[in-house]
């Protein structure tokens, strides 16, 4: 076929034909389910969103849309009132569209309206499916069954540093008036949108590797509507929370319908502030009974101490009385013994002196008698000597001299022995003399000139005299102890 034989159309003619065909074929509006991949809001108030549809997280359809300013304002106002938050990227929405084709700008969807109830229905549907699946697998209450620490001091926090919810959580826990202290470590994660699920799971895996350093995990974010919380109904995230080896606490914002992540967590609070107050209450639950126990122990100790003190005072008073009584008795006994020793000593001295005197007199008498007998004997011998003859006289003289010598010898020995016995008895008497007793280191205590006895004891600051062998010592009493021996 030659060029002249070919039917040739201009691009405009083709575009106009397509435009006319689409207008005739798609001459009404349609409800289309798609994800708001990117809103593309302009300064003039118009939006040119990118719409996609996914299957198994793979984009299988992609088309450009357009929302004129007047429609966008109306749609946004209605959506915000129902869903409690504005339209955002990543939302699965139900659009009312009209298919349009422009020769220059190509095929697009003119978005007339968005059904907010569909969005809420999709969220509810995903939530119910996740709950049923976790219950079927026996994982729903797994995190609930973990024992919660008595004092959760070491907390791993999953949040964003700039989050208002995190700021409120820190404000409550760190600025408490009771002085409770916590250790917080922040693991930053995306908290909403498509990337939230993988981001939070990633941080949970990091925390699990160092789980021994923490008592619990906290997930906190600011407030928001149900659309912003849709990621918390995700099965994978809910499963990661349910099976985590540490208790997980959530405070992910205001919501009328609790998400699955909150249901499977060990503890969920509506707001981060409430979650912080829960942690403080844990410390209260421990500290209040502890303080009460400390008060009870203090009172018991004081009571026991008072009882012991009173008992000690009574024992001390009784000890003093017994000590004084014992001291008086011992003092009287000592006084009696001392007086008895003095009396016995004096009696023994007198007896020994009398005995010595009697022995001395007896010795004198014996010596006198012996001398008298010897003189008689000597006189008799002299007479016999005169009568004897001259031949016997020398022998008699010799005998006489020998007898005289024997007499002197025996008399001296006898007198020496008797004197030695008298000296020994005199030494015994001297040993019993009170002066010699004092000489051995003893002393006689006198109070007001009299020997101290239990009937008249000196008191502290009284002056007493101590009579020793060589001195008289005057001293003041500073202390009185009972002689236990």
CA-CA distances (angstroms) from residue 468 to 331, 446, 454?
A: 19, 11, 22
- pLDDT reported for residue 285: 87
Q: For 93-122, what is the HEC assignment?
A: EEEEEEEEEECCCEEEEEEEEECHHHHHHH
- Among 73-82, 269-278, 396-405, which stretch is predicted with the lowest mean pLDDT? 396-405
Provide the β-strand partners of residue 67. Answer: 47
Q: Which long-range contacts (CB under 8 A, 24 or more apart) does 2-10 make?
A: none
Interval 60-83 mean pLDDT: 91
Confidence at 398, pLDDT banded by 50, 70, 90? confident
- pLDDT reported for residue 49: 94
User: Which residue from 99, 136, 81, 128 is spatially nearest to 259, judged by alpha carbons?
Assistant: 128
Provide the β-strand partners of residue 473. Answer: 466
- pLDDT reported for residue 163: 87
Confidence at 389, pLDDT banded by 50, 70, 90? low
Percent of the chain with pLDDT over 70: 91
The answer to whether 429 touches 352, Cβ cutoff 8 Å, is yes
Residues 6+ apart with CB under 8 A from 214: 154, 155, 156, 185, 207, 246
- pLDDT reported for residue 485: 60
Q: How far apart are CA 181 and CA 193, in angstroms?
A: 34
The radius of gyration of the chain's CA atoms, rounded to the nearest angstrom, is 65
- pLDDT reported for residue 291: 67
Residue 65 predicted with pLDDT over 80: yes
Residue 142 predicted with pLDDT over 70: yes
CA-CA distances (angstroms) from residue 200 to 10, 216, 231, 242, 301?
A: 55, 15, 10, 13, 53
- pLDDT reported for residue 205: 97
Q: Which residue has the higher pLDDT, 422 or 99?
A: 99
Q: Which residue has the tokens 């906190």?
A: 220
Provide the β-strand partners of residue 97. Answer: 30, 111
Q: Which residue has the higher pLDDT, 255 or 246?
A: 246
Q: What's the whole-number average pLDDT of the chain?
A: 84
| 215-236: pLDDT as tens digits | 999 999 876 555 557 788 899 9
């Amino acid at each position: 076929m030659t060029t002249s034989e070919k039917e040739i159309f201009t691009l405009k003619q083709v575009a106009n034909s397509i435009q006319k065909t689409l207008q005739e074929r798609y001459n009404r509006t349609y409800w289309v389910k798609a994800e708001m991949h990117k809103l593309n809001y302009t300064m003039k108030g118009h939006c040119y969103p990118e719409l996609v549809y996914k299957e198994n997280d793979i984009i299988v359809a992609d088309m450009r849309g357009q929302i004129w300013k007047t429609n966008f304002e109306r749609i946004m106002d209605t959506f915000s009132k129902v869903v409690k938050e504005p339209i955002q990227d990543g939302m699965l929405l139900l659009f009312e569209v009209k298919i349009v084709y422009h020769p220059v700008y190509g095929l697009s969807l003119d978005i007339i309206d968005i059904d907010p109830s569909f969005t809420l229905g999709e969220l509810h549907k995903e939530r119910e499916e996740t709950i049923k699946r976790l219950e079927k697998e026996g994982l729903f209450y797994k995190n609930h069954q973990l024992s919660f620490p008595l004092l959760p001091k070491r907390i791993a926090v999953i949040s964003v540093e700039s989050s208002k919810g995190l700021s409120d959580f820190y404000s409550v826990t760190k600025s408490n008036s009771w002085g409770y202290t916590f250790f917080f470590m922040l693991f930053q994660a995306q908290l909403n949108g498509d990337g939230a699920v993988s981001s939070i799971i990633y941080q949970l895996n990091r925390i699990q590797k160092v789980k021994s350093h923490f008592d619990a995990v906290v997930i906190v974010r600011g407030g928001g509507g149900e659309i912003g919380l849709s990621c918390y109904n995700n099965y994978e995230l809910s499963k990661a929370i349910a099976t985590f080896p540490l208790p997980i606490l959530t405070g992910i914002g205001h919501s009328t319908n609790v998400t699955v992540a909150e249901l499977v967590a060990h503890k969920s609070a509506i707001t981060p502030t409430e979650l912080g107050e829960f942690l403080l209450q844990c410390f209260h639950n421990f500290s209040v009974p502890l303080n009460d126990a400390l008060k009870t122990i203090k009172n018991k100790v004081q009571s026991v101490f008072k009882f012991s003190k009173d008992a000690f005072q009574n024992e001390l008073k009784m000890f003093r009385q017994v000590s004084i009584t014992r001291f008086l008795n011992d003092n009287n006994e000592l006084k009696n013994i001392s007086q008895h020793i003095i009396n016995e000593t004096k009696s023994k001295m007198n007896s020994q002196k009398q005995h010595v005197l009697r022995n001395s007199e007896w010795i004198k008498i014996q010596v006198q008698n012996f001398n008298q007998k010897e003189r008689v004997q000597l006189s008799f011998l002299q007479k016999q000597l005169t009568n004897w003859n001259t031949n016997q006289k020398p022998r008699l003289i010799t005998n006489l001299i020998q007898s005289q010598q024997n007499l002197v010898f025996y008399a001296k020995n006898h007198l020496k022995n008797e004197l030695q016995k008298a000296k020994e008895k005199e030494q015994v008497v001297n040993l019993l003399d009170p002066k010699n007793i004092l000489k051995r280191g003893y002393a006689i205590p006198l109070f007001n000139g009299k020997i101290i006895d239990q009937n008249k004891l000196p008191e502290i600051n009284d002056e007493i005299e101590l009579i020793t062998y060589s001195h008289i010592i005057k001293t003041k009493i500073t202390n009185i102890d009972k002689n236990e021996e």
